[in-house]
Each structure stands twice: as structure tokens, then as C-alpha cells.
Structure 1
């Protein structure tokens, strides 16, 4: 109860901040703003802020669905800037949350229908140009925008920030529950909205550790399931995310990007869920929103402004540095190096935590933006409960760029187990900063039977200084996730390698 009260207080503070960011347009502004009720899918009332540029029009239209647990005013600053630049903008609270009607459908068909209904209303009640329609959003709003582009061919451009293309690959990576993420999303959903039937089904699966139905529901709620439709419609798709997004990690965006055959852009920089673009939503200077503006100017207005001229893939190292541009995702990797792992058998006593872990959702990525990285000393990792393998120190400054791949043979003593693979940048003084990681759960195994494992870690771009080394740690418990590895069981790792991409 105490935790719920604290959460409610935090959300209330967010609400007050958002309201403060959404004042009426000044008399001398180049636009007007108004609070409106828009009939959504099935007539459900959706509350919205509508920004209309002054003038005859028609004006390009951008629809912005609100993030999970937030509402229309989260985009107040960005929407005002777009309106000043001659865009009609409709930012609305997603159904089931705050002032909108209905129930939380977790990006279900009613949510996709809502986006189309908001477009219908905008075309009927504003001077919006039906040939120039875009959708933009953060997190939940990003996912709904991508789904909207898959189902409504009127949407010609999208900017999806800190979003998802595949929910199973985000919240259930390699059959591993993201414990902190699930608890966070479900908790704030109850505080800020009205859960629907599918929401409660997913919640029950989370609480009871059964995920078959939840995974089925999640699979149809991601744009990755509709790539053929998107490629046929050919909207311009911009994807932007933080390297350490703890809710929607980068690999699922990369997979989606590589399958798209449309005008596209992919950007990664330091940050966690929603943090790289958060200030821009309030109207403050922000790289992601600047690129979003250029994206819509290019693909809605036809302005040749150089967006993407240097390459559709834009990457900034997670530990600081400038942007690098590439013609494709794979082009960032200039070479790979295969590091053999210990040839013998390493038996880990499972179910016991070590000092190695992936940090705290949101906090770890936000700290990385400030140059503060999750740090351990590998020498302090208990070898009874983990494998630790140190690679040779590099002789010159280099960049890890892409997704490292772990290959090994895993033999559990029980029917299920979980491992966590962490890659660290270890300095000569023995302190090591987390570069990337990945969880993996094995369910329904035959105890004692070896299982060959090929496991890509989450992709990263990371500057590795001269004299530093990469250190791999594999253990079986991480507080961010739900482990299936029980105490009194063992997990044996035999041989293998770690292949590291360098740029």
C-alpha cells in the first residue's frame, strides 16, 4: 500500500509538470490551441490537445498518441513548435488512461482504430492536408504510431521514439521475464488508468509465471508482425532509441529496421526508456526531436533538407562521443574477433546472485547519459556462481560496434534454468563498466542433456580505450529479471567463444 501511495504521488507530480508545460497559446503565437473530445474507435471519447496554425492551409497533420500512463500534455512543447512551423498537431490521451474513456487495451485493435478515428476527426474539423499525415510518439505512443502505419495507408511518415516493434522480444527476451519492467508498467497502469480484459490476462500470467496466452496477445501488438503491409504502403519510418532502454531494448528495433523496405532511419544514443527525447517533448532543445522535425519536413512537405544524406543509420557511442553515420546496420562493423572461452567444463552453482548484474530499469540508462556507468570489479565475482573470462587488453583505442555473440554448450541439472551474459569494459585498475548484456532462459529441458547455444547480446556502440580489456561474466541471477534457476541446481558451460564486432 505504501508503494502504491508513493507511486501515485510520483505520477501526480508528472501530471502537474505536464499541465504546467501546456499553457494556452500566446496571443501573438502563430497557432491556436484547444482542449477537445474526439470520438475514437466505437465512439469512445478521447481527450486531446489540438494545435492549429493560423492561416488558410491546408497544413500537414501530425497525430501524437500519449505514452503509457501519461496523457496529451506530455507533447505540449513539441506540439507547439510544430504548430509554429505550420503543422496541425493533435496530441491525445490513449484510451483507458487519465481523461480518455474506455479501458487499457495494451495497443490492441481499439487503440489502432483510435488513431485512424483521430485522423478522421482532424480532417473534418481542422485545415489538415489529407495527403500529408504523420504520426509520432514516445513509448506506447511510438508502438501505436507504428501499428497505425501498418493499418492506415493515409499515414505517410512516422517517428517512433523509445518504442517497440516486437513486444515478446522486448518484455520476454529469450523467454525471460523482465521483472522490474513488468512490475513498473502494471503498477502505473493501475494508478493512472482502467485495465481492460487483455491487460488483466497479461497481469495474471505475470503473477502466475505462465506466459503462453500473454505471448500470443503480445505477438499481434507489434509492427514487426505487419512488415509486409508497411512495405506495401511505404510510409517513411524513423526509429529512435537509447542503447540501454530497459523496457524496449534495441535488438528488436534493429531486426525490424532490417526488414523494412521503405524510406527509413535508425538512431541510437545513450539513455534509457524515453529519456533521450523526454526534454524535447517539453519543447526544450533536443537532438531526437530536431531529427523528427526534419523527417516530417522531408517526407510530408517534400523538403530536401539533407536528413539521412550521411546514411540512414546514426549511432552515438553509449560512453560518449559524436554521431557516426552508416549506409546500413551491418556497415558499422568493420571486423570481428573471435575470443575462445575456457575449453573445459565450468560448473556454476545456480540460483545465487553475484556482484554482476544489469542495474536498475530507467536509473542505469539515465546515469549513462550523464557519463556514470554501472560498474563492478570482476575480481569480486564469486567463481562458484559464475563464469568469468577476461580477454586480452587492446593495444590501441577501438570501438565495439554491433551485437557480440556468445556461443557455448549449456547443460542444466534441472528442467529449467536461466543465465545472464554480461560484457564489461575492464580498466587496468580492475574496475569494469557494463557494456551490454542479455538474459536467456531454458525451459522444459532434459536434465543433464547438453544444449548448444548461440546467443547475441544486445547491440552497442562503445569506445574501448587502449590498455582496457573486455571481460565476460555469466551467472544465473539478475534482480532486473525473473530467473528460473533454482538453488541446489547447477548449470554447466562447456567451451565456446565470444565473437565481438569492432567498428
Structure 2
């Protein structure tokens, strides 16, 4: 039996999102499948770029037949007779079809049929959560079938978009259903394996939030529950990797290229769930009309104000993308540089491709640790003949911060998370600081750290943090990442760690500073209790500088 249709969705991804959904739910009709009424709609100023707003129907709450299950959905469309481009909006993980009410109304006022739906296993939609698997792909096609048969949608002009879970379903769907001619993926993923096991390190906090949402608001079923249990216990890893591969758009890149949907990808530098490095190779190999936008923030933060119905850069790009590729309106977006980045502390920049954005790297060798301040020099050729031993299970003040909160707050305040570097315990961390340049250094791309290690156990973890250090000891986090290893024996090994992609201007007179320790609450660490790791000469950091 289907669960009662909810009237108050809860957002685990954003308190702001929950606020708008509470209001939207209170305004919803009491009965599902209500008769459509005609009403004028007020469209935000940002939505008027394509012309005069049109009158729309009222929202109609419907049940859509999926692949063997019934899915809850809502529909809004232009009121006048005719055929219109259509946009399908699958809801986010933990949310339902009420999520997009404000934006569905705005899009209908721009001349689109809009169908928002709750994927299987969530809220009142039947079935078990499929985690963007084959059943979700079949459901999406069924929703498109229903939209064409029951609305004024033009079958030749179908788009799909969403945030997070809805984003992944939309992009994956474009590989399986060639009727999807345009996609906007906001805070989505291209490689779920990387999201789970990037650099052989499991992401603890993000996976925990996903599991909590599934158990509280959905029907996870034995498949998802088993995978989450195995992930937490670090067992059956190959099975999880295969399962995640089936749910990764990168697996189906050839099919996406063959179907040629226009794809807009919008993500945040600090996305705790789907770090942006995974997007780069996918975007480079995408052979369709495409655009990549990266901004400060965390998962689903940059687009959150738009969900509230407020003017928002991400949603403005969505309007322009669909107007260009579905409505046939020349918005000029196709003539702009296809890679648009908003650095953490600079104005938005445009580049023709990722290679133009990210220049050749400058190598900073890790040097001998000075006795005076227990800090090494970061710069010059990699030095030999030194070592720094770290305890393998001790944390420091260097941290990536709580999932969603740290980078989310930074997106709104413009202030990066900060520590006082002298408070970092040098018995637990290695610290290397560069000379202070006389001009600003523009970091653009993916910094990469190479570490030479000795005395390692068969399994282990290190975490690297790159900071902007001022003259008073204040260190602002630029980027960070963990890396792990697994082997049959301990001893000497080399580790290559790709820090999360970033765009940051290091001010003149500030020092680029690297901190390496072995524990961060964001991640499952694999270090043995009371063990140690020794970093040695030959280690270096490559930083892409413009």
C-alpha cells in the first residue's frame, strides 16, 4: 500500500530548501489529481529574458504509472492551447515532487510544460529506492510517455533537470532515452565510484547523511540497505564498485554522445557528496553541446536560493540553456566560453575548455623541517635527506569541516574556513610553507601531491590541506583531499593525491602552506592504532598557476 502523500517535505540537504517546501506544501490542493484551473503567474525578473510571461494553469497533482509502480507527480503548463517544450524534474534524495514548485511555476510562465515527480521508493511513490539504477531509468521514460500523452508537450522538445539525485537521474536518462534533448545537472555526479571511493578513501559523513535520509523518508529495500552496510563495514568492495558503475553517467558516455543532448553541468568547488574532480574527464570527453559551471559552496548550496523562488545564477543559466536548446530562443549562451568558473575570491571567469582554465603546474618541493618552528620549506626542487614521522591515528586542527556546513557557510559569507596555523600540533602533522610572493598567485585547477612514505602499514590514510597563510598565522583553507592505500605488505610506498579542484587567488605577501595529517572526521581512515607514517625526501606538490 502506498504511503499517504506528504504535506511537509524535509530537506536534509538544505534548511533553506525545507523552508520553501513547507510553504509550498501548505498551498497545495487537499486532494491529489485535482481539476486544472487557469491562473496568471508572476514570473521573477530573471525569468523575463525570453519575453513576456504567459498565463499558466494551476498545479495539478497526479499519479503517473512508472515501470510497475505508481509515482507521485505534479504538472503545471501554459494555459493557452498549443504545443510547448517540456521539462521533467525528478526530485532530490530525501525530497519529493513539491521540491520544485517555485521553479516549476516560473518555467511554466516562460512557456514550458513542467512535470515534477518523486522517484520510486521515496515518500508516496511506490517501490524501493533504486539509486538511479535501471528501474529509475525505466521510470523516467514512463514519465516522458505520460507527459507526451497527457499534456501539451512537444515530443521533439523534452528536457530533464534536477538537483543532486534528480540531476544524476536526468543525465543518466539522456543515455537511455534519446527523446531527452537537453539536460541541466545541478550538484550531480558523473562517477559514483569516485564519490564513494575517491583515492581509496571512503566518505563517512556524506554517506551517513544519505543513509539517514533513505531510512527516514524512503523505502531503501534490501539492495540499498545491504550496499550501505557493506560500505560502512568496508566489505564486498568489488560488488559495490560494480553497483555504483551501473549508476554512473561516465559508464554511458558513448551513449550520451550518440544521443547528443545539450548538457549543462553546474556544481560547487566544495561539494562534499560529489567532489568536482570527477566532472573534468567526463566534460572533456563529452561531444555534445555542453557547458560547465563551478562556483563556491557545497552540495546543493549554490542553487538553493533558486529553489526558494529567488533570483539565482544557477537557475538563470538553466533558463537560458533550455530557452536556447528547447524553446529555440537565441540567448547567446552558445557563444560564451563553455567553462564558467567563479573563484572563491575573484570575479567570474570564462574559458573555452578545461585545459585553458587549468594551466601547467608549478612544482613545489617539500623541504627539510626546520627545528626553530618545526615547519619545512614548500618550494624549489624536491629535497632529499629528510623525514617527518606522523602518528597514524591522531587528528589536528587542520580539517575539511562538517559536511555541507563549512563550505555552505563559506558560499554565503565569502569567507573561507580558517584556522590559526601555530595551533596545529606539529607532533601530529607535517607543515610546509612557501616563500611569500610579491604578486598574487592565481590557482586554477587540481593541485596534486606526491608523497614518498616509509614505515607504512598495509593499509593507511593521509589527508592533505592547502592553505593561504597570512603574516599573523591565520590560514584559510583553499582545498583538501584524503588518499588511502591498500596492499599485502607494509613498508615503502609512493602516494599520488589529487586535491579537490579549486580557483583561488593567493594574495601577495601570503604563503602557500601545506598541512598533512592522518585523520579527518569527513572520512573513514584506515590507519592502525598506535602506528606511524614517515614522509621523506622526494615529495612535492604541483600547483596549477596562471
One fold, TM greater than 0.5? Answer: yes
What residue number does 1:111 align with? 136
What residue number does 2:211 align with? 186
CA distance in 2, matches of 1:27, 1:219: 45
Q: CA deviation at 1:445?
A: 4.4
What residue number does 1:5 align with? none
TM-score, normalising length: structure 2: 0.87
What residue number does 1:206 align with? 231
CA distance in 2, matches of 1:76, 1:10: 14
What residue number does 2:51 align with? none
Q: Which has the larger radius of gyration?
A: 2
Q: Which moved more, 1:139-148 or 1:250-259?
A: 250-259
- CA contact 2:87–2:158 (8 Å) conserved in 1: yes
Matches for 1:232-243 after TM superposition, within 5 Å: 232-243=258-269
CA distance in 2, matches of 1:193, 1:413: 42
Q: CA deviation at 1:171?
A: 2.3
Q: CA deviation at 1:434?
A: 0.7
Show CA shifts across 1:310-351 (max 9, x none): 300000012x33210000011013453111112322221211
What residue number does 2:404 align with? 362
- CA contact 1:419–1:474 (8 Å) conserved in 2: yes
Q: Which moved more, 1:462-471 or 1:27-36?
A: 27-36
What residue number does 2:70 align with? 45
Q: Structure 1: any 5+ residue segments left out of the alignment? A: 1-7
Show CA shifts across 1:24-43 (max 9, x none): 6873331112000000112x
TM-score, normalising length: structure 1: 0.95
Whether 1:281 aligns to 2:307 is yes
Between Structure 1 and Structure 2, how many residues are aligned?
Answer: 493
Match of 2:148 among 123, 126, 129: 123
Whether 1:78 aligns to 2:81 is no
Q: CA deviation at 1:94?
A: 1.2
Name the CA shift for 1:15/1:316 in 2 (closer, same or farther; >3 Å): closer
Whether 1:28 aligns to 2:21 is no
Name the CA shift for 1:115/1:277 in 2 (closer, same or farther; >3 Å): same
- CA contact 1:418–1:441 (8 Å) conserved in 2: yes
What residue number does 2:124 align with? 99
Name the CA shift for 1:82/1:400 in 2 (closer, same or farther; >3 Å): same
Q: Structure 2: any 5+ residue segments left out of the alignment? A: 1-8, 29-36, 42-54, 368-383
Q: CA deviation at 1:438?
A: 1.1
Aligned-CA RMSD value: 1.8
Q: CA deviation at 1:19?
A: 4.4
SS in structure 2 of the partner of residue 172 of structure 1: helix
CA distance in 2, matches of 1:201, 1:336: 42
Q: CA deviation at 1:242?
A: 0.9
CA distance in 2, matches of 1:131, 1:372: 45
Match of 2:347 among 318, 322, 339: 322
What residue number does 2:389 align with? 347
Q: CA deviation at 1:281?
A: 2.1
Show CA shifts across 1:47-102 (max 9, x none): 00101211222100100000000011111111111100110000001111111111
Matches for 1:188-337 after TM superposition, within 5 Å: 188-210=213-235, 211-318=237-344, 320-337=345-362
Q: Which moved more, 1:184-193 or 1:385-394?
A: 385-394
Match of 1:421 among 445, 464, 467: 464
Name the CA shift for 1:444/1:21 in 2 (closer, same or farther; >3 Å): same
What residue number does 2:32 align with? none
Show CA shifts across 1:286-314 (max 9, x none): 00000011001111122221114230000
- CA contact 1:171–1:181 (8 Å) conserved in 2: no
Q: Which moved more, 1:334-343 or 1:413-422?
A: 334-343
- CA contact 1:352–1:487 (8 Å) conserved in 2: no
Q: CA deviation at 1:16?
A: 7.0
What residue number does 1:469 align with? 511
Q: CA deviation at 1:206?
A: 2.5
Match of 1:88 among 99, 110, 113: 113
